[in-house]
Amino acid sequence: MKININKTCIVLFSILFFGGCTNNKLLPLEPVAELLPGILIGYLDHNVIPDGVGLLPKAPAKGNEEDNRLNNQVIKKKSGLRWDLAKSDDNLEFPVAARIFSCSIDAEISKENTPQLYRLLRRSATDAGLSTYAAKKHYQKDRPFMINKSPTCVPTKEAHLRTSGSYPSGHAAIGWLWGQIFSEISPEHSNKALVRGWEMGESRLICNVHWQSDVDAGRLMGSATFARLHANSEFTKAMKAAKLEISAVRSDGLKSSRDCKAETQSLTY
């Protein structure tokens, strides 16, 4: 696969995965190249990744009335379990990110126990993240904290976030894509998986780093990427393998290592 990225694209991924460029060695699976250190290439060639400029409505003006109204409602949740979960959801670093959905599907997810699924999440995140790139670059929409001057849940990233367009949300795209993936490979937990994927987008609002329109657009890109991935044989094979892994993990009684009680409480605010 020919990889063609530019400096701006690297900035995008340094923001999405800031602090997450690890040097994890792959398990003995077929080798996969890296887009950036620690970030695997996706399944989709550049010319078939969904294009946000063509798919999405024009980005609303910064600070428009509806975005401001919804933003003001959500950013009040700056304490407690939901605020903590929003901060946690910002972290797309592996292996931490691999466990985000482990409570919702009632199974441990790790590089050691679910290697196919672990790789599937890493590669699909790249596809979803890249699906938002063209629109981010095109619109360069200011983020909420740049307008309302309220704090974010990721103060150390604010300088980087100022250089990346807010519309659409890459985290929301990845979260919604993963929610659909888990809904398919663990259908008995479909509702919980989709709720968790949805809440990853809500976390971006609570963190004051995205507007509602950014999150809505990100979810659309996540859906578009999920649909396109199903035309990729490598992806569909990985999905089947991941489903078998989840069944094996459940048979072995391996539960999530996250604090699922606290997570459930945070999602019932």
Tens digits of residue pLDDT in 118-143: 999 999 999 999 999 999 999 999 99
Q: How many domains does the chain have?
A: 1
pLDDT at 22 over 90: no
Q: Please indicate whether residue 235 or residue 63 has the higher confidence score (pLDDT).
A: 235
The pLDDT assigned to 200 comes to 97
- Report yes or no: 142 and 166 within 8 Å, Cβ to Cβ: yes
Kindly tell me if the per-residue pLDDT of 10 is higher than 70. no
Contact residues for 108 (Cβ-Cβ < 8 A; gap 6+): 99, 102, 114, 249, 254, 255, 256, 257
CB 43 within 8 A of CB 127: yes
pLDDT at 78: 62
- Name the active-site residue from 67, 89, 127, 214: 214
The pLDDT-based confidence of 267 (bands split at 50, 70, 90) is confident
Domain contains 1: no
The answer to whether residue 214 is catalytic is yes
252 is catalytic: no
pLDDT for the residue numbered 79: 65
Out of 171, 196, 219, 258, the active site residue is 171
What CATH number is given to the structural domain containing 136? Answer: 1.20.144.10
Question: Is 141 inside any structural domain?
Answer: yes
Question: The pTM is what?
Answer: 0.88
> Hey, what are 70's tokens?
């919804």
Residue 204 a catalytic site member: yes
Nearest to 153 by CA among 64, 220, 74: 74
Range of the domain at 185: 7-266
Residue 63 inside a domain? The answer is yes
CB 137 within 8 A of CB 165: yes
For residue 149, pLDDT beyond 50: yes
What DSSP string describes 7-76? HHHHHHHHHHTTT----PPPPSSS---EEETTEE--SS-GGGS--HHHHSPPPPPTT-HHHHHHHHHHTT
Asked if residue 2 belongs to a domain, the reply is no
Determine whether 84 is an active site residue.
Answer: no
* 237 occurs within a structural domain: yes
pLDDT at 6 over 60: no
**DSSP label of 141:** P
Instruction: Exactly one of 122, 123, 143, 204 is catalytic; name it.
Output: 204
Single out the catalytic residue among 119, 196, 210, 219.
Answer: 210
Helix 7-16 and helix 115-131, axial crossing angle in degrees, nearest 10: 130
What's the pLDDT tens digit per position in 23-71? 333 345 778 998 988 899 999 999 999 999 999 999 988 767 778 877 7
Average pLDDT, the chain: 88
- Residue 68, pLDDT score: 80
Report whether pLDDT(156) > 90: yes
